[in-house]
Structure formats: structure tokens, C-alpha cells
Chain A
Amino acid sequence: MDYDVIIIGAGPAGLSAAGVLKDDKRVLVIDEYYHHGGRLLGQLYEESRGNWWNGMEIADELYGGLEGKVEFSLGTSVYNAEREGSLFTIYTDKGNFTARCLVAATGSKENSSPLPGWELPGVMTVGAAQVLTNFHRVAPGEAGVIIGINPLSMVIAMELGYADVEVKKICLPAANDINTATPKDALETLMGLSRSAPSKFLAFAGGVGRRLTLLHGPVLNFFPSGGVRTLGLPISIKERVVRINGTDQVESVTTIKTRADGSVIEGTEQEIVCDFVCISDGLSPVNEITSLFNLKHVYLESLGGYVPLHSEKMETEIEGLYVAGNITGIENAKVAMLQGEMAAHRILGDEAASEDTLRKINEERKNAKVKFHEDLDAGREKLQLYWLAK
């Protein structure tokens, strides 16, 4: 046996798990990226007035506490995992490693809503633009259009603004079998953000939704067809991007206006000149590793997709296999960090710490600034019922 515990994923969950285990266990942390931090890299938003969440600083703090105590294999791709007897074998492009316990903290990936022209250079996910802008400090372009109205795209649109990258429009994707978001969904997103807005901007954007609802009833009829501009961000919930144009790279997008119900108004096409486009269609759990085991996965839309069946203490049906972070459902980095600690407490058999962490997780969920899905709590409850009934 090479290690006591192998952790796959050096993001908020994986690093936090390693932090709890570092003095008692021989730990290996594997990540495909060449730098620690996972999706913490790039995160930057104002939690409350003057109080910033800087994911890159958090990642460095977590990593700094592990140096010399935990082994890292970054830039390493895991291509298979097996369990024989009570030993896990992890197959990577840098060799194979064995351990008694495995923590799958593989995070999430971005969903993509395809539309004509989306393969052109200059089209990228909002997450790609985020990492380029805040971590690498390279602007994704001069002026861009964001397709998709959801918490992630709104937060990242703001982050682009901090770096003086112009966002010309945030609107909905063309409607088809895959993209079904309507102006009503977008408005609900804006309203949802107002409940626990992480910043003045989101509070304001949310305020627009709430105010219109209270005053007008059928809000959507009154939402300006050209969108609203709040603190520099042009949100247009009654406009869809129908295609992305360009020969060798993005040159413009074509939008079309819609009615309140999302149906398009013919003859309202407009061309917006831009040199990059971000597609944002939400996040879903990365479950390839857990799918390699004989493990039930449950589809819950409120959690972002298929998640491995697990207890609220991060245990799975397989002894020694734990999950933590966005693989358990899409939530913020603070929840992921606590989930990582939880997995580690279970590995150490620390009952008191597990109970305490469970309390903290529930507390954090209650206070979460950004909620990725309005039915998240119901989804978590359902999953817990599945676990108890397994």
C-alpha cells in the first residue's frame, strides 16, 4: 500500500480534506491541472461591503498548510480506478498508486448549450473567461457577449467588469431541444439573487425583478425589450442569441427579440460586434471516477445532474470511498471545503468533529450568498431519503 488516503481533486474540497488528514495519514492529492486550487482559481466577488472572496488567496492558504506534509501529483490525469479487497488502485499517466481510502473530490464541469457558430475561436465557457481574466490575467478579448442568464454568468460578468473587459450583452440562448430557458426563468434567477445578493450589483439586478413583480404583476410584459443596464451590465432577458458569426474567429453575434413567453418576434434580428462570446449553461458534477465503481448514481436536477449516492457525512455505499465538493451537487466553495473536512473526519473516525462539521454545512447552506438552484434543499432531502432507503 502506497498511501493511507488518495484524494482526487486539489480544489476546495480536496485541499480541505488533506488539511484535516495531514498529521495522521499518508496522503496523496492528485489533480489534472498543474496548479492547486481547482475552481477556486478565478473566484472573486464581494460578499458584503468591502469584504472580498478571493478564491486564489484561499487556495494558497489551504495549500500552504499542507506543504511538506502531504504529497501532491499535479498535472496528472486519472484514467481508471479499481477496488480489490480493501485496496484502491488509481491508474494515472504518471503511474499507479494504491490506498485504503479514496476521496473523490472531482468537482464540476460546465454545461454547454450549442448554437450555430459555437465552434469558432473566441467562443468559450464563462469559467474559461474567469480563469483567464483573474488567474492568468489575460483578457479573453476586448468586448464580449454572454449567452445564458444564471448565477454563474452574472457573477463572472461582474468579474470581467473589474478587469475593464466590456460585456456588451447578457442574454438567453436560442431556443431548441437543448436550450429551454425562457425570459420567465431568467427573471426568476434575477429575483432569486436578490434574496441573498453577494454585492450591490446583484442586489440591484434582483431588485429590478422584485420591484417589477410587486408593481406590475405580469412583469415580463414590462421588462424593456432592449434589456436593463445595472452598474454597467446590460441584462436582456427578452433577447436570444441565434448564431455566432465570423470567418476565422468571433466577429459578432446575431440576436432576436422575444415576447414575454420566449417566442421570437420575427424581423427583430440585430448584430452585436464582439471579439469573444461566453456560453453559460450551468454546472454539472464530474462523476467519471465514481462511475467506475459499482455505485448507484441519482439524477437530481437541483443538484446539477447525476451524483453518486452518498450520506450527509460524505460516505458512499463502498467502504473507504468518500465524496466531497461539487461531485455531490453544485454548491459554493465554502460548502465544498466543509464537505472535504467531513470526509476526512469520517476517515479518522472522529464522531464529534463530524457532527460539528455537519452543523456548519447546514449553517453555510442557510447563509449561502449564491444559490445555484432554488430547489437545492429539496434535492438534498430527497438524496438523504434515497441513502436511508438504500
Chain B
Amino acid sequence: MTRRILDHKILGPRKNKIVPFKWNGETYYGAEGESITAALLANDVRTLRHHERDGAPRGLYCNIGHCSECRVTVDGAQNVRACLTPVRKDMEIRRQGALPHLVKGGGDDGL
């Protein structure tokens, strides 16, 4: 389980303004102004994407927009880097799935 650090030994307590957002159609809650990666991690969601080729689970890695491992679909726009995008009220975020093979078919919808 992951958790929010509400009282930090050195930085002190923090109160967050909580906003609802949708992850794969379900309602979750995040702190206003935090990145999508932080909001999902606080909800114990680690798998942000299934790899395009083999469907293997992938999560945040660099958290600064370099690795592109955390790409998600935000309000219909594909391949948005979750680590660079602040979560907003009622945002619709979806996990991206494996792509179908040209001949063999397959793929998944990310759920």
C-alpha cells in the first residue's frame, strides 16, 4: 500500500484540497495541483499503461517527462505524460492497452 504523508517530520503537516477524478471510469480522489502520477500512486495504482506490444504492465519511472513510461489518455487525448500533467476536478483518465497485432489480432483495452 502507498500512502499520503500528511505529517512530515521536517516539512510539517499539509492539508490537501481533494478533487474527484475518473480513472478507467471509476471515481478516485486526488489532491488539487498534484500530478496524475502522484494522485494515482496515492490511490495505490501503480500500473498506468499496458505495453503496446506485449501488454506488460508499466508505471511511472523518471517522473520528469523524459522516459514516457507513464503515458495515459486524458479527456480523450492519447499519450499524455501523467507525470507532467496536474490532476483536475472531473478529469477523465484512462489506462492505455496493448495494440492489436496486424495479423494475429489481440490487444487489450487497458482495463
Contacts and interface: CB of A to CB of B under 8 A. Distances in A.
Interface in B1-27: 1-6, 8-11, 14
Given A127-B64, A139-B2, A122 B10 contact: no
Contacts of B86: 34-35
A390 B1 CA distance: 56
A140 B72 CA distance: 19
A24 to B, nearest CB: 32
Interface centre among A52, A137, A140, A141 (most CB of B within 10 A): A137
B3 A122 contact: no
A47 interface: no
B56 interface: yes
B61 A44 contact: no
Interface stretch (A63-71, A97-105, A128-136, A318-326): A128-136
Contact of B57 (A124, A125, A137, A249): A249
B64 A121 contact: no
Q: Which of B14, B46, B69 has the most CB of A within 10 A?
A: B46
B85 to A, nearest CB: 7
Contacts of A141: 2
A121 B46 contact: yes
Given A32-B84, A137-B4, A138-B4, A132 B65 contact: no
B35 interface: yes
A33 interface: yes
Contacts, number: 108
Interface residues of A, number: 37
Interface in A27-82: 32-35, 44, 52, 54, 75, 77
A122 B59 contact: yes
Q: With a 10 A CB-CB cut-off, give which of B1, B42, B61 has the most chain A CB atoms.
A: B61
B46 A125 contact: no
A2 interface: no
B63 interface: yes
B5 A133 contact: yes
Contacts of B31: 136
A32 B64 CA distance: 9
Contacts of B93: none
- Chain A contact residues: helix, strand, loop or mixed: loop
Given A121-B58, A162-B9, A249 B46 contact: yes
A377 interface: no
Q: Is the interface of B mostly helix, strand, loop or mixed?
A: loop
B48 interface: yes
A205 to B, nearest CB: 19
B68 to A, nearest CB: 12
A248 interface: yes
Contact of A33 (B37, B42, B57, B64): B64
A139 B42 CA distance: 8
A137 B6 CA distance: 7
A337 B83 CA distance: 25
B13 to A, nearest CB: 10
A133 B2 CA distance: 11
Given A109-B64, A248-B47, A249-B47, A121 B59 contact: yes
B74 interface: no
Contacts of A374: none
Contacts of A120: 57, 59
A163 B9 contact: yes
Contact of A138 (B11, B38, B59, B61): B38
Contacts of B1: 142
Contacts of A355: none
4 residue pairs, one from A and one from B, having the closest CB atoms:
A121-B59, A128-B63, A136-B38, A121-B46
10 contacts: A33-B65, A121-B60, A127-B64, A128-B61, A128-B63, A137-B4, A137-B6, A138-B3, A138-B41, A139-B5
Given A75-B85, A121-B60, A127-B62, 7 more contacts: A75-B84, A121-B57, A124-B63, A132-B41, A133-B5, A136-B31, A138-B4
